[in-house]
Amino acid sequence: MSKLAAQPLYRQVLREVMVAIEAGEWDEDESLPSETDLGKRFGVSQGTVRKALDVLVTDGVLYRRQGVGTFVAGTSDFLLRGQFLSLAGRDGVKPSVDLLGCVRIHAGEQLAEILGLRRGAALWQVRRLLRVEGQVIGLEEMLLPEANFPSLEIRRIRELKGNLRELCWRDFGVRLKDGEVRYRAVLAGQTEARLLMMDVNEPLLQLVRLARDFDGKPQVWSVAWLRTEQLAFEPPAQFGAQAG
C-alpha cells in the first residue's frame, strides 16, 4: 500500500483488490471477504472499502448478490451474454460460434490511432461467425496488438470458443473492461455479404466496441455485423443502445 500512497485511499484499496484477483486469490464467481475483513486487511474503514468495491462493480470486475456478498465477475463474451430475440415472439436464444481464422495484419492509420500504435504495427485479426439453429446470423472481427498478445494460437482461441476476453485474461493476464458499444444501421459490403450468405447492400446492424484494460490502455477493437431479418439483438442488461 505504501507504494500507492499518493493515490486516494479507495483507489489504493481498488488496486490491491485487482492485484489479488489477477493473482488468482479469488476465482470467478467466488465471494470476496466481507467489507469489514477487507478493511482490517488494508488498514482502512469499511466505507473506504465499499467505495472501492462500488467502482469495481460498476466496471464489471465484481458483482453483488443482495444479502449474500460481493463476487468476482466472469470474463464472458459480450455477444453471447446478449440475447437474439425472434421477431415472431419466441423466447430469446443464444448463438453458437464458428471460428473462421486468426491472421497477422498491419494497422492502417485509423486503427493505429484507435489502438494507440504506430502506423503499420502488427495486429492479430480474429474472425468468427455466429449461428442460431444452424443459420448464420452474425460476423465479428476483432483486432489485437501483436506486441501485447504474442504467440496467439488459433487452437487456443478455438478451445475458448472465440472468447478473446477470456483468453486475454487467462493467457496474458490482461483483464478487459466492457467498453461503450455503438450501434449503426449499415449496408452489407462484399466481404460481409459473402460470409453472411446474403446480397450486397442488404441492411445489417453493426456493433462497434473498443475494450480497454483497467489502466485505460486500448487492447481490442471489435466490429460485428448482425442480420436482423428474423432476429433482434438485445444487449446485456448493463448496456444501452447508442447510435453511432
| Average pLDDT over all residues of the chain | 88
Residues 6 or more apart whose Cβ sits within 8 Å of residue 90 = none
Residue 74: which pLDDT band, with cuts at 50, 70 and 90?
Answer: confident
Q: What is the mean pLDDT of residues 226-233?
A: 91
Q: Is residue 150 part of a domain?
A: yes
123 DSSP β-pair partners? 105, 145
Contact between residue 46 and residue 132 where contact means Cβ atoms under 8 Å apart: no
Contact between residue 32 and residue 38 where contact means Cβ atoms under 8 Å apart: yes
Residue 31: which pLDDT band, with cuts at 50, 70 and 90?
Answer: very high
pLDDT in tens, 114-168: 999 999 999 999 999 999 888 999 999 999 999 999 988 899 999 988 889 889 9
* Predicted model pTM: 0.76
Give the residue from 154, 126, 140, 63 showing the smallest Cα distance to 95: 140
The reported pLDDT for the residue numbered 107 is 96
Q: CA 231 to CA 137: how far, in whole Å?
A: 8
Q: Is residue 244 part of a domain?
A: no
Q: In this model, does residue 4 exceed pLDDT 60?
A: no
Rg (CA), the chain: 20
Q: In this model, does residue 194 exceed pLDDT 90?
A: yes
- Alpha carbon separation from 152 to 70, 130, 140, 217, 222 (Å, rounded): 33, 21, 18, 19, 17
pLDDT in tens, 79-108: 887 888 887 766 778 888 999 999 999 999
Q: In this model, does residue 242 exceed pLDDT 80?
A: no
CA dihedral 166→115→10→16, nearest 10 degrees, is 50
If one counts the domains in the chain, the total is: 2
Q: CA 238 to CA 146: how far, in whole Å?
A: 30
The reported pLDDT for the residue numbered 90 is 62
Residues 6 or more apart whose Cβ sits within 8 Å of residue 182 = 207, 208, 209, 242, 243, 244
Domain ranges, residue 226? 78-234
DSSP 133-161: TTEEEEEEEEEEETTTSTT--HHHHHHTT
Amino acid at 43: G
pLDDT in tens, 14-27: 999 988 987 889 88
Q: Is residue 240 part of a domain?
A: no
Q: In this model, does residue 58 exceed pLDDT 70?
A: yes
Q: In the listed set 19, 54, 72, which residue is the last one of a domain according to the structure?
A: 72
The reported pLDDT for the residue numbered 63 is 85
131 and 16 both lie in a single domain: no
186 and 82 both lie in a single domain: yes
Q: CA 16 to CA 214: how far, in whole Å?
A: 13
Q: CA 127 to CA 226: how far, in whole Å?
A: 14
C-alpha cell at 194: 459473402
Q: Is residue 243 part of a domain?
A: no
Residues 6 or more apart whose Cβ sits within 8 Å of residue 6 = none
Q: CA 144 to CA 242: how far, in whole Å?
A: 24
19 and 137 both lie in a single domain: no
